[in-house]
A and B are shown apart, each in its own frame.
Chain A
């Protein structure tokens, strides 16, 4: 039984399973969307609460993607409410000092983390082709097959994703361009 179905039939057990199985990945996303840990915690719990409240609307096999979409949308709403641009092009500040962060360890690791954060902040439809291409090393045809879209579409998505990433990682790439 998938998680959504379990939450519908057994709210308590399903919720526990939700937190246990998908909580960590969601937390990773929340951390990268927010500028401090408190906000991330708030976003994290609101995402989970929203998910179980709207579980009846969830359908299809992409439960984790749906969960991440909720998280992204909630964050966008928060930003708008705060009068901030919902789509930030700048890489967010690192997590404050009260908790240890991997971003502080070395410059190289910070760069890598920034890249991963940027990938994490991509919309799901753009993130998947990027990961399939650069993580799994799939060809365009394979990506298209995996996504179930024509190759032209997967290429287009990848192009869009690269454009977003270039904008986000502008400083980083510029440094590499001028060693």
Chain B
């Protein structure tokens, strides 16, 4: 909200009205009592008018007595509860990280904090106290009480002066320059000097209450949610005036050769509403108290004002702001500026809030830059950092060239950063003006670039930054040369050579007038040589470097600076080893490790038929050329259109479309669609272009946010869908539209419309058209074997496989599917052995038996023995009943009756205090899916409604109920209501539930005359599980036909290893894209004689979305449940059978931030594969992510061995780091994590690590708050060095 002009007539009128209406204020009254005085004045006025308060003293006294008589702890423990939880988590972290002393202290601190009365607020220590900020700088010596920031500041200064304790990261060596106004205590930064700078850089935080706003905006963007999410908001961030404040607040990760990041979480206390910061050790770092009138239901009340109270109560859990946790890495950048902190910075920032450019520019410009000694962490030799090791040529596109010399020793990193700040950031702010938004947005790009360039890791700049620059240039026309440079680099990186050249040439043109700084010219020359090397360009690059080097002066005039930057900017590209697609240190490390093991790290040639290409080159060499050839080339060849004015625009739109498809993007921002609309509007007749235009129209009508477009009426939406269908029909008759182009169009229509709108007058649906287009495309033998995989990846979810198999006359499909089956079969013995071993090791645990039940599901009723074993250990062992139901399917020799009988058996136990009766519901779903057209039968009758209500009620009433249960309970009720045609009740239930978008219309629309089993909103069990079934079923059938096929275990291992490596590199969305192709498994479709454990990988072709194309809400909004249905047991089963994630010293375990239902335990079972070397510091655990693509997934089905790394940002899990020396390789390690009322137990080698007491029971009102354990290190993993225990 912009401040209004105080001199405007309306403001003057309001001010006059207010002043006239307010009674006189007593002179000299303290300002902090202004509200009290105001109400006292009102009370006096009322009293004068005879309106006096009733005498309620007796009632209040009685209430006070009642409260005192009740347990004082029960009401007073709310506040310490969070602290205790966090401290307990911190203690776990510390314990498993070897920080036993710190763990003890943390626990003691928590307990003391819990037992002690609330501390009195300490007196303000300096001029501008912020009464709301309190800090917990947990120190080993003494558990610190909550303090105000000034107290923290003093504490931090004291810490800095005192010798660093052994278990703490070293305190900064030098005291800051500033002095406080009181007592000469050195200030590490006044409260107002703390500023946050996230990568979403239109937020400039110069005030302590701004993080709260920042968090609020994310909450607004992400809610409603069924489960907690953790959203990564950036790796460049918190920038107080002095790093000491960060040291006091947050714990740094220990980098080997770069700036230490301070991982932190920002979230809302679920009980109190406070905004809290935690450090990487999960310690509570700071608290911003909530406003006294803060109402956590604010978003719900804003979104759905005035809804009936019962609906409101039902929806409240989905709108709980504490579901959102922001994760970021704070980087102290004050040290980058000479003098670090200055005492004036607080005062400067205090009144401004004016953005950082002024502040930073002036900070930098007004200071000299004395050379500071290198930090301890930056003095390590560069060879310690794998990212700085000499590169290997990784692309066949690069010419063979001699290896460059190893990089020279890295100069003082902070000196480098100062230099790059001067060379990049200062000119940026001096550059062309844009709006504040764009300027700040670009600043994030520039700053990130500078940071990474200083590390010699230019290509590790996240794609978000490149994409952001591209976005700024292409969409918003930002003129800044550096932003254009970044956009150009991004285009090169993505392989958009035409665009990259265009941007580069444009940039050269803009800078030709001599406006470029020497460093800008150098970067431009570097860019030219990097991507299109030539002797001339190399000479120009050397000249540019020499010219720039001549400008160095002062502290920067150093040989090591020249050598370092010369290496990265000149020598590596001169040697021709700079990979075109960027360098990925994680992938490099992974491939190097594989090479050491003798495995094939990355087959560049066409892999064996049937293997999944998890490789960038596949996209570049096969996928993209193929679809360009099939979609664009035929249209380019049409001579009659050569002179058409719309032609360039149409071709550009289609090329962009192909690019995005090749990158796995089915739902990008409608940028290129806009071009298609323009081209179609100018008369382009090409069906593909008209299709894209129709799709844009549909998007606007159906998916666009009301804030921008206004919600279209259902009629408009139908019309838009019909237009899409009409274009598809037209494409069928167009000779220039190839079968693959039609397939792509149908697929896009199917995925984007997500509705089976009928295609009139053909009487078919878009889904049918998709299947038909696939059959047609499959009938054409691929020109190259690798192209078969494209078709495999593009196949529809429901397709007549027999028809396709017949159509694919050359058998390519058969070969591929069969080889997948063989791969899967190769894994079975290992999986069996592992679970049997686990059952021996942990006889009390049901999980091994559940997994064995799944492995033996082909035995049908015979598998009951495993179910009984699991049930004997835990009555409602998660997943056991579901697995038993699967075993009773007809494909395993069972029947619908068996399934129903088993459900009845579970219900008849009457154990509504457990989740066993839920199996009754599942049995109905399964039976419904087996009955096909008669699916309603299991739900018919009043008894079904009653039973379902009982099950749903028990689910909700369970003390372990999760948010997901609330969703599930709603869905449960829908099925029998629908089957019994009770539409009024159905609509009521839908209203109560709402939709993922908080828009009830979506759900209502989906129900009108529709089949609920097609809808993911209601297709609880089968909406998307069916997505995989045909795939698996067909593969199984082919396996039977083909018989004995060679196992492909090694290839599978290699592929999965690359996948897992990729999942640790989420900042690189090329890699993330690959990670998204995780194999998906299913075990429910085997038939007698089939392999008992169907581990059939499947390419997931629509995985990650480039983040910059998507708004915040889009990232999380539309398919919350879709993600839930996708994820879970498929991936987890693969994880269980194939532990493939080596971690270079840190083992990440994903934990669930909600109570113990469904997946309370994570197992790490000793691995017997050769790569596991006890004592080597490498741990191979049963780790894989629990969701291939993201958010909020895996709620119920992760009920087997294997933990999960949750590499995808925002999956909702938090991570702890389990160092290898916490694990005894001779025994099982069990990590049991139960949040919010659970316990944390670590058993290493049979010896229990002291168990941390569980917290009090979860509050019924807010049962699923977020707790924080650990942090993630993401792409910085390669930099992280885990300290040996002795050094901690």
* Contact call B38/A131, Cβ cutoff below 8 A: yes
Q: Which of B34, B39, B60 makes the CB contact (< 8 A) with A120?
A: B39
Q: Which residues of A contact B29 (CB under 8 A)?
A: 136
Contact of A27 with B53 at beta-carbon distance under 8 Å, contacts A124-B35, A132-B31, A177-B13 already known: yes
* Contact call A81/B309, Cβ cutoff below 8 A: yes
Q: Which residues of A contact B10 (CB under 8 A)?
A: 166, 173
* Contact call B13/A111, Cβ cutoff below 8 A: no
Q: How many angstroms between the C-alpha atoms of A32 and B192 in the bound complex?
A: 36
Q: Which residues of B contact A166 (CB under 8 A)?
A: 10, 14
- For the complex, is B43 an interface residue (Cβ under 8 Å from A)? yes
Q: How many angstroms between the C-alpha atoms of A52 and B629 in the bound complex?
A: 76
- For the complex, is A92 an interface residue (Cβ under 8 Å from B)? no
- Chain A residue at minimal CB-CB distance from B133: A148
Write the B6-31 contact mask toward A (1 if CB under 8 angstroms, else 0).
00001101110111111101000101
Interface residues of A in 4-52 (CB under 8 A from B): 7-8, 11-12, 14-16, 18-20, 23-29, 31-32, 37, 41, 44-45, 48-49, 52
* Contact call B295/A76, Cβ cutoff below 8 A: yes
Q: Which residues of B contact A44 (CB under 8 A)?
A: 53-54, 56
- For the complex, is A86 an interface residue (Cβ under 8 Å from B)? yes
Q: How many angstroms between the C-alpha atoms of A58 and B104 in the bound complex?
A: 29
* Contact call B56/A83, Cβ cutoff below 8 A: no
* Contact call B291/A52, Cβ cutoff below 8 A: no
A29 CB → nearest B CB, Å: 6
Write the A59-83 contact mask toward B (1 if CB under 8 angstroms, else 0).
1111011101100110010001101
Q: Which residues of B contact A151 (CB under 8 A)?
A: 350-353
- For the complex, is A169 an interface residue (Cβ under 8 Å from B)? yes
Q: Which of B11, B54, B207, B291 makes the CB contact (< 8 A) with A152?
A: B207
B682 CB → nearest A CB, Å: 45
Q: Which residues of B contact A90 (CB under 8 A)?
A: none
Q: Which residues of B contact A111 (CB under 8 A)?
A: 17, 21
- Chain A residue at minimal CB-CB distance from B1: A159
* Contact call A149/B38, Cβ cutoff below 8 A: no
Q: Which residues of A contact B946 (CB under 8 A)?
A: none
Stretch at the interface among B72-80, B237-245, B1129-1137: B72-80
Q: How many angstroms between the C-alpha atoms of A14 and B65 in the bound complex?
A: 11
- For the complex, is A91 an interface residue (Cβ under 8 Å from B)? no
Q: Which of B21, B130, B293 makes the CB contact (< 8 A) with A115?
A: B21
Q: Which residues of B contact A24 (CB under 8 A)?
A: 39-40, 43-44, 46-47, 53
Stretch at the interface among B300-308, B512-520, B548-556, B1064-1072: B300-308
Contact of A64 with B35 at beta-carbon distance under 8 Å, contacts A12-B64, A73-B295, A119-B18 already known: yes
Q: Which residues of B contact A149 (CB under 8 A)?
A: 130, 207-209
* Contact call A57/B31, Cβ cutoff below 8 A: no
* Contact call B352/A172, Cβ cutoff below 8 A: no
Q: Which of A7, A45, A69 makes the CB contact (< 8 A) with B59?
A: A45
Q: How many angstroms between the C-alpha atoms of A162 and B117 in the bound complex?
A: 39
* Contact call B51/A99, Cβ cutoff below 8 A: yes
* Contact call B32/A25, Cβ cutoff below 8 A: no
* Contact call B20/A123, Cβ cutoff below 8 A: no
CB within 8 Å: A-B pair count: 270
Q: Which residues of B contact A62 (CB under 8 A)?
A: 131, 292
Range for the number of chain A residues in contact with chain B: 35 or more
* Contact call B43/A28, Cβ cutoff below 8 A: yes
Tell me what chain B mostly uses at the interface: helix, strand, loop, or mixed: helix
* Contact call A49/B39, Cβ cutoff below 8 A: no
Q: Which residues of B contact A173 (CB under 8 A)?
A: 10, 13-14, 17
Q: Which of B292, B308, B354 makes the CB contact (< 8 A) with A124?
A: B292
- For the complex, is B475 an interface residue (Cβ under 8 Å from A)? no
A112 CB → nearest B CB, Å: 4
* Contact call B60/A49, Cβ cutoff below 8 A: yes
Q: Which of A11, A18, A41, A165 makes the CB contact (< 8 A) with B18?
A: A165
Interface residues of A in 139-179 (CB under 8 A from B): 141-146, 148-153, 155-156, 158-160, 162-163, 165-166, 169, 172-173, 176-177
A4 CB → nearest B CB, Å: 9
- For the complex, is B50 an interface residue (Cβ under 8 Å from A)? yes
* Contact call B22/A135, Cβ cutoff below 8 A: yes
* Contact call B292/A68, Cβ cutoff below 8 A: yes
Q: Which residues of B contact A177 (CB under 8 A)?
A: 13
Q: Which residues of B contact A64 (CB under 8 A)?
A: 35-36, 39
* Contact call A57/B49, Cβ cutoff below 8 A: no
- For the complex, is B61 an interface residue (Cβ under 8 Å from A)? yes
Q: Which residues of B contact A45 (CB under 8 A)?
A: 54, 56, 59-60
Q: Which residues of B contact A31 (CB under 8 A)?
A: 46, 51
Q: Which residues of B contact A152 (CB under 8 A)?
A: 206-207, 351-354
- For the complex, is B184 an interface residue (Cβ under 8 Å from A)? no
- For the complex, is B173 an interface residue (Cβ under 8 Å from A)? no
* Contact call A60/B3, Cβ cutoff below 8 A: no
* Contact call A160/B14, Cβ cutoff below 8 A: no
- Chain B residue at minimal CB-CB distance from A20: B57
Q: Which of A27, A53, A100, A135 makes the CB contact (< 8 A) with B49?
A: A100
* Contact call B79/A59, Cβ cutoff below 8 A: yes
* Contact call A27/B64, Cβ cutoff below 8 A: no
Contact of A54 with B351 at beta-carbon distance under 8 Å, contacts A69-B292, A127-B35 already known: no
* Contact call A148/B60, Cβ cutoff below 8 A: no
B64 CB → nearest A CB, Å: 4
B179 CB → nearest A CB, Å: 20
* Contact call B63/A116, Cβ cutoff below 8 A: no
* Contact call B13/A176, Cβ cutoff below 8 A: yes
* Contact call B209/A15, Cβ cutoff below 8 A: no
Residues of A within 8 A of B (CB): 7-8, 11-12, 14-16, 18-20, 23-29, 31-32, 37, 41, 44-45, 48-49, 52-57, 59-62, 64-66, 68-69, 72-73, 76, 80-81, 83-87, 95, 99-102, 111-116, 119-120, 123-125, 127-128, 130-132, 134-136, 138, 141-146, 148-153, 155-156, 158-160, 162-163, 165-166, 169, 172-173, 176-177
Cβ contacts A to B, 21 pairs, < 8 Å = A26-B39, A41-B54, A48-B60, A49-B63, A53-B64, A57-B272, A62-B292, A69-B292, A99-B51, A112-B21, A115-B17, A120-B42, A124-B292, A143-B31, A144-B350, A149-B130, A150-B192, A151-B352, A152-B352, A166-B10, A176-B13
Top 3 closest pairs, chain A to chain B, by CB? A152-B353, A25-B39, A115-B21
Extra 7 A-B pairs, beta carbons < 8 Å, given A28-B39, A32-B42: A11-B65, A16-B61, A23-B56, A24-B44, A52-B63, A148-B128, A176-B17
